[in-house]
Amino acid sequence: MIEIRGLSKTFHTANGDITALQDIDLTIRDGEIYGIIGLSGAGKSTLVRCINLLEQPTAGEVLVDGKNLLTLSRKELLKTRQNIGMIFQGFNLLEQRNVLRNVCYPLEIAGVPKEQAKARAVELLELVGLADRQKAYPAQLSGGQKQRVAIARALATKPHYLLCDEATSALDPNTTQSILALLKEINETLGVTIVVITHEMRVIDQICDRVAVIDQSRIAEEGPVSQVFTRPQSRIARELILPGSKSSVDTVTGKKVRLIFDGERSAEPVIANMILACQAHVSILAADTRDIDGAIYGYTVLAMPDDPRQYERAIAWLDEHHNTYRLED
């Protein structure tokens, strides 16, 4: 388990101090895929780099399997880092080494015998679907193939944790899907706990179990992906989940309702049934649905009738039929 307690990070610059993280508390459970999402500059990449102390926190604690990394000696920290793999947006492969030797590199540093390291690298390249590209060099690979090599390299020392810092941001949508599917497979088959840093909600809702939303150096909200997606509490979460629709919702005056689909009733024609039953005239202002762990979650923002009686009938019907909704500002 990874526990982050009261974590803060301040950068001291010639133009003054910059607070990147402030009083962060998170618990990442064994075996889960945990997402951290936020806009550029929110502090998410700094946070993930503090987990393995690539960035030294200004205050707070980082506990991995009960050990506070900030109290470890240099030797102990290096050994602990072997249990924390990391992949980056830019792949960070060694251009002068072929694919096989790139995957062997962390094993060489760890002092693993050459033949044993090679066998482990071959096994991992088979896992990521690149068994036939062992002798290729990074310049001969596509972006998706480079990231697969980077994933294999990150898994070389059999880490329990894998940190992914914007790992799919440089990839096209189809390649992104294949990399996310690979990460999900690694989580399920190897039991590796994965932390995903991203600014894309589609990445979070495809593979993550829980998510923390970070905004202006603080955690704005946290919870199961289905909960945060269907019932976002913070402004930044609503902006990330439904980008581009904020203005269309906010510019409409009058009463509005966010009708929430919780994975069980999303196939039912709730809006049509309400209109027929109540003779209430409503307009759809925004809508979105996602497949999360095989269930459909989503919501629709409705502009409700101005007539008080129609409005009251519609709300009463939603209550009577046990629909989940929220009155919008």
Q: What pTM did the predictor assign?
A: 0.77
pLDDT interval class at 124 (50, 70, 90): very high
- The whole-number pLDDT of residue 261 equals 75
Whether residue 247 has pLDDT greater than 60: no
pLDDT at 69: 92
* Residue 271 binned pLDDT confidence (cut-offs 50, 70, 90): confident
Mean pLDDT (whole number) for 86-97: 87
From the list 52, 113, 111, 104, the residue with the least C-alpha distance to 80 is 52
Q: What is the layout of strands, in order, in the sheet containing 295-303?
A: 283-292, 295-303, 256-262, 324-328
When pLDDT is cut at 50, 70 and 90, the band that residue 97 belongs to is very high
Going by DSSP bridges, is the β-strand pair 2-13/59-64 parallel, antiparallel, or unpaired? Answer: antiparallel
Query: Which tokens belong to 218?
Result: 């603080």
Would you say residue 262 has pLDDT above 80?
no
- What is the rounded CA–CA span in Å between residue 299 and residue 309? 24
CB-based contact 147:176 (threshold 8 Å): no
Taken in order of first residue, the domains within the chain and their CATH numbers are 2-232 (3.40.50.300), 242-328 (3.30.70.260)
Strand runs (DSSP E) across 93-205, as ranges?
Answer: 161-165, 193-198
Which comes out higher in pLDDT, residue 95 or 243? 95
Quote the tokens at residue 11.
């950068």
More confident of the two residues 145 and 288: 145
SS3 state at 71: helix
Query: Each residue of 197-230: pLDDT tens digit?
Result: 988 887 888 889 999 999 888 999 999 988 888 7
Best CA proximity match to 32, nearest among 263, 225, 291, 262: 225
Mean of pLDDT values over 82-91 = 87
Q: How confident is the model at residue 176 (pLDDT cuts 50, 70, 90)?
A: confident
Q: Determine the pLDDT at residue 293.
A: 61
How far apart CA 174 and CA 273 sit, in angstroms, is 37
CB 270 within 8 A of CB 281: no
Q: Is 69 exposed, middle or buried (CB count within 10 Å of its CB: 0-12, 13-18, 19+)?
A: buried
Average pLDDT over residues 269-296: 78
- Does residue 163 have a pLDDT over 60? yes
Q: What's the first-to-final CA gap in the chain, in angstroms?
A: 39
**What is the pLDDT, as a whole number, of residue 23?**
93
The predicted structure's pLDDT at residue 294: 62
Number of Cβ atoms within 10 Å of the Cβ of 223: 16
pLDDT score of 206: 84
Distances, alpha carbon 203 to alpha carbons 152, 290, 302, 309, in Å: 20, 11, 27, 42
What stretch of H or E contains 275?
helix 270-278
Evaluate whether 38 touches 214 at the Cβ level (below 8 Å).
yes
Could you give the C-alpha distances from 160 to 82, 93, 193, 305, in angstroms and in order?
A: 9, 22, 6, 54
Q: Minimal CA–CA distance to 186: which of 221, 151, 237?
A: 151
pLDDT, residue 17, reads 86
pLDDT of residue 255: 85
